[in-house]
Every structure is written in structure tokens, then in C-alpha cells.
Structure 1
Amino acid sequence: MRRSLRTCAVAFTAAGLIFGLSACSEAEKAKEKVEKEAVDQVDKAVNEEYEVTYEVTGSGVDSIQYTVSGGSAMEPKMETVEKPALPWTKTVKLRGITPPSVLPVALDATGAKVSCKIVHKGKTLKEETGEGLAAAGGCVAVSPIG
């Protein structure tokens, strides 16, 4: 009788281990699949390019700084145009989660009246208007990819 109880106990323990390991294996596979999908999503977002058009209108603008392709999302590459003729527009390609931004600079803010806009696929992502010191606020939008 003790022998059959011991045999049953060993059999139940072995079955429990098999089912337990099987469940852990399935859970591990599911976790790996979710992690791979997340990495694929980030890779796609980081490498995908998108196009935006910057628009600046108004008066009293001495220069315009704007984000262009290159650099990183945390330190995007910027270019500057001096003494721009207004209205001014520029279409650029950006990559991934890099935020588009355009910053009109007015050295004599007393006469400045500025509007800026960032457009992606016909949709305005960000628009700002200001006078005087508020004119130099600029526009910064969130990447449409993120």
C-alpha cells in the first residue's frame, strides 16, 4: 500500500512539473512575441519618414530657425534662414519621432507680428500667432509618427 501511494505521489508530482513547465514555456513564448512586436513598432516609428510644411507670415521677422532631417529626436538638426521674405514656406522630410518646429526670430519685437504653422498631409499640427515679444514663441508639434 505504501508503495502504491509513493508511486501515485511521484506520478502526480511529475505530471504537475510537466504541466507547470509547459505553462511557463507558453507564457515565455507569449512574452517574447509581445516584446518582438514592441521592438518592431519602435523600429518602424524611428525609421519612418514624414513630410511637413512650415509656414511663417507677418512682419518684423529677422530670421527663421526650423527642424530638418538629421540629428536625433532629443537633439534635432536645425537650419536658419536670414532676412526671409514673408510669407515664407519650407517643406522638409523628418524621420521617426523627431518633433517638427519652426521659430521666427524678431530682433525688434516691438513691431513684430508673426504667425507660424506646421502642416502635415493637409492637416495643421500646430499654429501660433503673436505680436511683440509673444511673436517669437514659434511652433513645435509632436511627430505625427509617434
Structure 2
Amino acid sequence: MNRTTRTTRAVRTTRAAAAAAGLAFGLVGCDAAVDQVDKAMNETYQVTYEVTGKNVDSIEYNAGAGTATEPKLESVQKPTLPWKRTVTLKGIAAPTVVPIAVDPVGAEVVCTITYQGKVIKEESGAGIAAATGCVAISPITG
């Protein structure tokens, strides 16, 4: 084996060792990230939905059933206003409340989502048909 071949092999071996070390260090960091995601996915939090206005026909909201990517929404028909509900959600599940109001004279609707005493989302709509939705990012995701 000549000197050039030995040098080439040494360089390749060094590169392979460096790549393996980098991968090992990367996996350690990856483990920490996975731990953080697992913790966030299992952590629960409470939000309060509120709907006000007039002529609201229905309200759909995420009450915590289903999954974060496919929540099973609950529905309330002809709610008494003001309407308020506190729910417990998990992980990255998005707090969601969607009121729908229809009236030929005029409908109005306001929805809010509150987390730990602070409004994290508020929307309003008005007109013959007023459908608005409050969808917030999970407050535990950062």
C-alpha cells in the first residue's frame, strides 16, 4: 500500500469518525427535543370560550375530544347568550370556538378565548349571516 492510499484511508477514517461523533452529539440533542415534545403533548391546559351577540344559532367548540390534528367538535344549538364554557385541552390542541348567527334583520357575534385571565383570541362578525371563528395556538407550545 503506498503513501497516498494510506493518507486517503486515514482521511476517510477521520471523516467517518467525525461524522459518527457529530451524529452521536446530534442524537443527544435530539433526545432532549423529543423529551420536550413528549412533555408538551401530554401537558393539559384550560381555556374559557365566550360568545356574545344576538341571534346566534349554534356554537361549535373544541372540548378536548379527538386528537390535536383532528379534534371532535361539540355543538350547542340555540345557545343562551352570553354563552361561556371552560374546557381542558391537551398538548398542541388548538383552542377553537365557532359561533354562527343568521338573521335577515342582522346578526352579531363576538367570540373570545381566554387563557390564565388573558384573552388570546377575539373575533367578531355582523350582517345577515355572521359566522366567525376564534382559533388560537395552544398556549403551551411556547
Interval of TM-score (by shorter of Structure 1 and Structure 2):
0.7 to 0.9
User: CA shift at 1:45, angstroms?
Assistant: 1.5
Structure 1, residues 72-122: CA drift from partner, whole Å, max 9, x if none?
A: 122111111111111110000011111111111123264211111000011
**3-state DSSP class of the match of 1:84?**
coil
Instruction: Report the Cα distance in structure 2 between the residues aligned to 1:128 and 1:15, rounded to whole angstroms.
Output: 65
Report the identity percentage.
50
Corresponding residue number in structure 1 for 2:54: 59
Give me the CA root mean square deviation.
2.5
Corresponding residue number in structure 2 for 1:86: 81
From 34, 41, 48, the equivalent of 1:46 is: 41
Native 8 Å contact 1:53 1:118 kept in 2: yes
Runs of 4+ with >2 A deviation: 11-26, 107-111
Native 8 Å contact 2:91 2:138 kept in 1: yes
From 100, 110, 114, the equivalent of 1:119 is: 114
Alignment pair present for 1:144 and 2:139: yes
Instruction: Report the Cα distance in structure 1 between the residues aligned to 2:39 and 2:104, rounded to whole angstroms.
Output: 42
Instruction: Report the Cα distance in structure 2 between the residues aligned to 1:137 and 1:90, rounded to whole angstroms.
Output: 17
**3-state DSSP class of the match of 1:65?**
strand
Instruction: Report the Cα distance in structure 1 between the residues aligned to 2:11 and 2:125, rounded to whole angstroms.
Output: 71
Native 8 Å contact 2:103 2:129 kept in 1: no
TM-score, scaled relative to structure 1: 0.80
Number of equivalent positions: 141
Moved more, 35-44 or 129-138: 129-138
**3-state DSSP class of the match of 1:35?**
helix
TM-score, scaled relative to structure 2: 0.82
Corresponding residue number in structure 1 for 2:24: 29
User: CA shift at 1:29, angstroms?
Assistant: 2.0
Instruction: Report the Cα distance in structure 1 between the residues aligned to 2:15 and 2:125, rounded to whole angstroms.
Output: 65
Q: What is the identity, as a one-letter code, of the residue corresponding to 2:80? A: A
Instruction: Report the Cα distance in structure 2 between the residues aligned to 1:17 and 1:115, rounded to whole angstroms.
Output: 65
Instruction: Report the Cα distance in structure 2 between the residues aligned to 1:48 and 1:36, rounded to whole angstroms.
Output: 18
Instruction: Report the Cα distance in structure 1 between the residues aligned to 2:124 and 2:7, rounded to whole angstroms.
Output: 75
Specify which structure has the higher proportion of strand. Answer: 2
Structure 1 residues 49 and 126 mapped into 2: Cα distance closer, same or farther (>3 Å)?
same
Native 8 Å contact 1:115 1:135 kept in 2: no
Instruction: Report the Cα distance in structure 1 between the residues aligned to 2:112 and 2:104, rounded to whole angstroms.
Output: 19
Instruction: Report the Cα distance in structure 1 between the residues aligned to 2:69 and 2:112, rounded to whole angstroms.
Output: 21
Native 8 Å contact 1:100 1:141 kept in 2: yes
